Amino acid sequence: MDILKLINSQKQKFPLEQPFYVNKEIFELDLETFFYNQWVFVGHASRITNKGDYFLFSIGNESIIIIRENNEKINCFFNVCRHRGSHICLEDEGRVRKLICPYHAWGYDLGGNLINAKMMEKNFNPKNWNLKKCYSQVFEGLVFINLSEKPSEFKNFIKPIKPFIELHGLGRAKIADRKIYPTKGNWKLALDNFHECYHCQPSHPEYCHVHSRDYIQSYGAGSNTGPKSKEFNKKLKIWNKKVKKLGYLTGEFSEDKFSEFFRSAERTPFSNGKLSETKSGKPASTLMGEFNEFDGGYTTIGPSPFNSIIMSNDFATTFTFIPKGPNDTDIEIMWLVNENAIEGVDYNMEELTWMWHKTTLEDKRIIEDNQKGVLSKKYEPGPLSEMEMGLEKLKIWYLKHLEKSIKKTTNTI
Amino acid sequence: MDILKLINSQKQKFPLEQPFYVNKEIFELDLETFFYNQWVFVGHASRITNKGDYFLFSIGNESIIIIRENNEKINCFFNVCRHRGSHICLEDEGRVRKLICPYHAWGYDLGGNLINAKMMEKNFNPKNWNLKKCYSQVFEGLVFINLSEKPSEFKNFIKPIKPFIELHGLGRAKIADRKIYPTKGNWKLALDNFHECYHCQPSHPEYCHVHSRDYIQSYGAGSNTGPKSKEFNKKLKIWNKKVKKLGYLTGEFSEDKFSEFFRSAERTPFSNGKLSETKSGKPASTLMGEFNEFDGGYTTIGPSPFNSIIMSNDFATTFTFIPKGPNDTDIEIMWLVNENAIEGVDYNMEELTWMWHKTTLEDKRIIEDNQKGVLSKKYEPGPLSEMEMGLEKLKIWYLKHLEKSIKKTTNTI
Amino acid sequence: MDILKLINSQKQKFPLEQPFYVNKEIFELDLETFFYNQWVFVGHASRITNKGDYFLFSIGNESIIIIRENNEKINCFFNVCRHRGSHICLEDEGRVRKLICPYHAWGYDLGGNLINAKMMEKNFNPKNWNLKKCYSQVFEGLVFINLSEKPSEFKNFIKPIKPFIELHGLGRAKIADRKIYPTKGNWKLALDNFHECYHCQPSHPEYCHVHSRDYIQSYGAGSNTGPKSKEFNKKLKIWNKKVKKLGYLTGEFSEDKFSEFFRSAERTPFSNGKLSETKSGKPASTLMGEFNEFDGGYTTIGPSPFNSIIMSNDFATTFTFIPKGPNDTDIEIMWLVNENAIEGVDYNMEELTWMWHKTTLEDKRIIEDNQKGVLSKKYEPGPLSEMEMGLEKLKIWYLKHLEKSIKKTTNTI
């Protein structure tokens, strides 16, 4: 298959052709080009508050140990013993004093240094056999990993979305709930779904109960992804003024030229006096971050194509899209609240998770039915609506990045 | 693999060699060459009597919507929305007013015309985005589809088997029961099984209870598929005379020269005064079609290699063989009775389905054990018996057709 | 993939690189080169004591019928009917008078001769259509099969391990229990595990309860697989003297130059006055073979890489490693006791199976976790310890044999 030729034959304002959603070779290329080269948010530091606490993150054949070395430091290691290659940590999460391989008891300290290996020959130097690290950064409690050998500067990566995250004080948050939605669909069909709100009206009653029609049309999948709404722009203007007065951040960010990053961020108001992304519009929990009162607004961040973070003043919902196979994607959601909030007293789990749990179950079904049809030999991309410009933007970035990466590899060889 | 060479090395009066039953490349070629080019019976109009009633038929990655537009018309569409490719109908059967895609609510009328697509750009012409049709024909209530771009003339196809179907009035029938038997075996092993009655004696006690030894030997898998039986020929002659007097059709049809079709039809008598293909030999339901009295006979039709229709005077049993993978075939059976017959009053389900339900469960097991052995590196085709000439005929047709198709494709390229 | 190059790039005293444990092409080559060319122990004659008793052994797509023809003779046939290829025996074990194919009733006598095939053409000669045999030998009740077309001489194969087996009278044994442990790991990871006892201390509490530290270090995976232990050598010397006096065999065998065989055998003492490989150290059953009293010792035999037989004076534990796929291996264990021993009277099943049942469950987990890590792109072979020289020996033999076999095939073509 001539993938370069295929890339160049994709039509403007139409979704991708079949091979991009089903082909195994393209899937492997996708992993190498995108997932293994991006800073991906995989968890929150509050999962591992004590020394030796760890959790695992799995992608493809890789298992990553995310472990706390001490109060200041979290390390990420490939879950592969340097002796014979066994997995070292076998549970999804836990607490250990040392990392001891269950096979032959090679032991590593929490910094990954080999400190125990019995019966080795005399010239054996343990310093050569420390655990292999994976690049990672913790920012405001958000654990990002990067599986590349030469990751891009984290500072550059985080810069434009930094103030939006800081506003919500995620560093002083904890995980209230965490769910995984295994979805039988290509990761790009899952992202397509997340980058347009054309389907919200027909498919998401809960989302449409919370959000107003004018917001959905013009901002549902982010700024400039649908037709402008005079009504919403008016609301936004008034709200921006009010919020600036309160002293909180407003505004938005989106990529204005092509780079390896695909980031976005924006602050927008709820309608009808709603204060939080809940059924009633009332708060689900206590205030977080810099907020001293509810500002009636809402922050959406897309750090990478594989993540979204959606924040009310009182809770945050994080999304991680994990490609598992050409037709398989895991969607992992975490709900974060103020670290001091107490379940049953300060927040109610049902209220907190209601919208995105229901909406993600709906999206899972949608993506799976989309995949089934895309597998047909009669599938042919159709014209995109005016409300699918977020998807078009993602597609253009994806194709450009893939093309660049293929050409680079070819030149290297 | 040089498939042409392989085709030409197959031995006369021996079954096919291993690759034909296990190889993935040959399986894909089979689908393209055979299933996607034949008129295949997939259901009965009585499943969808009301406007908007539909059922789905699935083959490989294709899902076909068979839907009633009005009293006169049934349409078949690929279950793929023209917008983003989602499946439109998600249930196996149901009733709808319009075909509305559950993803973004693009709506089509029952004729497949796009009548609803919101927020499209100004130059969007809905007429270009109607559902993709699949060729179909309804004859006497039997719904045939053809997945080819250029299907053969239905009239030519149906001609020789037409009077046999008309005799039984299937257009005034209804489905009494429907079952699917998923079978872990190549579709050709399933067809091999259906095209010889050498295995009936050892494997099918129910079939041998109903049918006489002389019939099984000479006609069990169709006319001229086993050694002639003087006894049966005598019976047939007498019965033909009697039935002609009653004014009903007699006789038989089989292909006399090579074509894309593989059809057969014949009328034969039961033995021992039996009237119907039941345990007791007594009728299972009320008379159908042109019959005013039971004529003691039995009609067998093979419209394509993927179908058989076996009819007593009072009920019909239809078979559809659906290739699912190199080692997977679904066998779908429907039992049809007079549209006015009432369960419990005019027919008893147990009696009706007894023989073919039990026999097909036996065949499923047989085919699966055959597949297991054929996978061995020691498998080698053995000599066919005199009672397996139906299978030999099918094999010759299959190889000739496959060869022709490969040569044609090669010439085109 | 250039497998020869890969073979030659493997490092001394390091385990194999990833492709050997995961690659499908190498797996297929492994089957052809090793499993299909070795004499493999697959069962015990006591499973089939009566004429017509049989059991099946499955490897890859092959199913082998091991059947008793008469008091003197056991035959092995491919479970593939010569007519259309169906499996003939469908149950894991049973008793038959003839081998009758369930499809078309072709019948074979217990010697595999075709004696029944109805309705064949006149020139059909049944003598050409006997069942295909597989080479087999029964030695002391142990049934060995060899799937090669030209197997090596059984006499040569069995010679060095013969006296060790005879000592234990396995020909007068019966199967007390039999279990299969399906393991998600490459067969070589399973064998690696079995050829070193470096992991015994951390992973096998039961094994370490029964066996002493000095034995485990120097003999746990066989003679010369770990550092010498003065303590154990002293014990061994004393015990050898004592046992010679009693008139029983002592000593050991291991391959001293490269051949197609990979065999080993040795007799060693228990420590601390133990008499048998049980929790208490007390006998689990009655004496077997030549033993008139317990000699405090233990016999270990490795007839091929796919088998181990471990024998106390009163019972034997046999292991068969069956490659099922690149990441799948079945470990089959049988526990043999004196044919006259009575359960509940002479032996207690729990006591008999305790150590190896628990230990094998542990090994199954270990092998599976090893496989998971080996799949990582960060897996890299690490340095072997001094206690893993058995694994190193196996690896050297494996690579040499594989290389030879590839070169031979290449020359032939």
- Among C80, C84, C121, the residue with its CB nearest the CB of B386 is C121
What's the pLDDT score for residue A224? 85
Rounded to the nearest angstrom, the minimum Cα separation between B101 and chain A is 9
Which tokens sit at C196?
């070193």
CB contact under 8 A, A383 and B83: yes
What's the whole-model pTM score?
A: 0.94
User: Which chains are within 8 Å of B by 3+ CB pairs?
Assistant: A, C
Distances from the Cα of B6 to the Cα of B16, B17, B33, B409, C45, angstroms: 10, 9, 17, 17, 43
- Among B80, B83, B104, the residue with its CB nearest the CB of A376 is B80
CB contact under 8 A, A382 and B85: yes
Chain A residues whose CB is inside 8 A of the B84 CB are 15, 192, 370, 381-382
Q: Give the CATH class of A156-393.
A: alpha beta
Residue of C nearest to A101 (CA): C202
What's the pLDDT score for residue A413? 56
What's the pLDDT score for residue C73? 97
Residue of C nearest to A78 (CA): C378
- Report the distance separating Cα C35 and Cα C145, nearest Å: 10
Chain B residues whose CB is inside 8 A of the A13 CB are 121
Domain positions in chain A are 40-146, 156-393
CB contact under 8 A, C119 and B227: yes
The CATH architecture of the domain made up of B43-146 is 3-layer Sandwich (2.102)
Residue of C nearest to B391 (CA): C84
Rounded to the nearest angstrom, the minimum Cα separation between A375 and chain B is 6
- Among B84, B87, B100, the residue with its CB nearest the CB of A382 is B84
Contact C267, C148 (CB under 8 A): no
The full DSSP string for A258-313 is --S---EEEEEEPSTT--SSSSSSS-SS---TT-SS--SEEEEEEEETTEEEEE-S
CB contact under 8 A, B202 and C103: yes
User: Which chains are within 8 Å of A by 3+ CB pairs?
Assistant: B, C
Residue of A nearest to B103 (CA): A199
Residue of C nearest to B383 (CA): C83
| Probe site for chain C from A35, A59, A91, A104 (most C CB atoms < 10 A) | A104
Rounded to the nearest angstrom, the minimum Cα separation between C315 and chain A is 29
- Specify the length of chain A in residues: 413
Rounded to the nearest angstrom, the minimum Cα separation between B372 and chain A is 29
Q: Which residue, among A73, A70, A63, has the nearest Cα to A42 in the 3D structure? A: A63
Which residue type occupies B288? M
- Contacts across the A-B interface (CB distance below 8 Å): 86
Contact C34, C20 (CB under 8 A): no
Chain A residues whose CB is inside 8 A of the B79 CB are 373, 376
Chain A residues whose CB is inside 8 A of the C385 CB are 83, 104, 117-121
Chain B residues whose CB is inside 8 A of the A361 CB are none
- Among A80, A90, A102, the residue with its CB nearest the CB of C378 is A80
What's the pLDDT score for residue A227? 95
Residue of C nearest to A117 (CA): C385
The phi and psi torsions of B115 (rounded to 5 degrees) equal -125, 0
Rounded to the nearest angstrom, the minimum Cα separation between A318 and chain C is 27
The residues of B whose Cβ lies within 8 A of any Cβ of C are 13, 15, 192, 198-199, 201-203, 226-227, 366, 369-370, 372-383, 385-387
Q: Quick one: B154-393 is in which CATH superfamily?
A: Naphthalene 1,2-dioxygenase Alpha Subunit; Chain A, domain 1 (3.90.380.10)
Chain C residues whose CB is inside 8 A of the A145 CB are none
Contact C164, C326 (CB under 8 A): no
- Report the distance separating Cα A52 and Cα A44, nearest Å: 15
CB contact under 8 A, B366 and C86: yes
- Report the distance separating Cα C67 and Cα C73, nearest Å: 9
The ranges of chain B with pLDDT < 50 are none
- Among B366, B381, B386, the residue with its CB nearest the CB of C103 is B366
- Specify the length of chain B in residues: 413
- Report the distance separating Cα A221 and Cα C412, nearest Å: 64
Portion of chain A with pLDDT greater than 70, in percent: 100
Rounded to the nearest angstrom, the minimum Cα separation between A12 and chain B is 13
Per-residue pLDDT tens, chain C, 413 aa: give them. Answer: 899 999 999 999 999 999 999 999 999 999 999 999 999 999 999 999 999 999 999 998 999 999 999 999 999 999 999 999 999 999 999 999 999 999 999 999 999 999 999 999 999 999 999 999 999 999 999 999 999 999 999 999 999 999 999 999 999 999 999 999 999 999 999 999 999 999 999 999 999 999 999 999 999 999 989 999 999 999 999 999 999 999 999 999 999 899 999 999 999 999 999 999 999 999 999 999 999 999 999 999 999 999 999 999 999 999 999 999 999 999 999 999 999 999 999 999 999 999 999 999 999 999 999 999 999 999 999 999 999 999 999 999 999 999 999 998 877 65
Rounded to the nearest angstrom, the minimum Cα separation between B129 and chain A is 8
Tell me the pLDDT of chain A averaged across its residues: 96
Q: Give the CATH class of C40-146.
A: mainly beta
- Report the distance separating Cα C147 and Cα A111, nearest Å: 51
Rounded to the nearest angstrom, the minimum Cα separation between A111 and chain C is 18
Measured at the CA of B299, the angle between CA B296 and CA B300, to 5 degrees, comes to: 145
Residue of A nearest to C383 (CA): A83
Buried b vs exposed e over A69-108: b needs ≥16 C-beta within 10 Å? eeeeebbbbbbbbbbbbbbbbeeeeeebeebbbbbbbbbb
What's the pLDDT score for residue C409? 82
- Report the distance separating Cα B289 and Cα A72, nearest Å: 86
Rounded to the nearest angstrom, the minimum Cα separation between C375 and chain A is 6
Chain C residues whose CB is inside 8 A of the A87 CB are 369-370, 372-373
- Contacts across the A-C interface (CB distance below 8 Å): 85
Measured at the CA of A407, the angle between CA A406 and CA A411, to 5 degrees, comes to: 120
Q: Give the CATH class of C159-393.
A: alpha beta
What's the pLDDT score for residue B412? 65
Which tokens sit at A132?
């292999």
The ranges of chain A with pLDDT < 70 are 412-413
User: Which chains are within 8 Å of C by 3+ CB pairs?
Assistant: A, B
Rounded to the nearest angstrom, the minimum Cα separation between A87 and chain C is 5
Tell me the pLDDT of chain C averaged across its residues: 96
Chain C residues whose CB is inside 8 A of the B221 CB are none
Which tokens sit at C390?
């058995």
- Report the distance separating Cα C87 and Cα C63, nearest Å: 8
Chain B residues whose CB is inside 8 A of the A394 CB are none
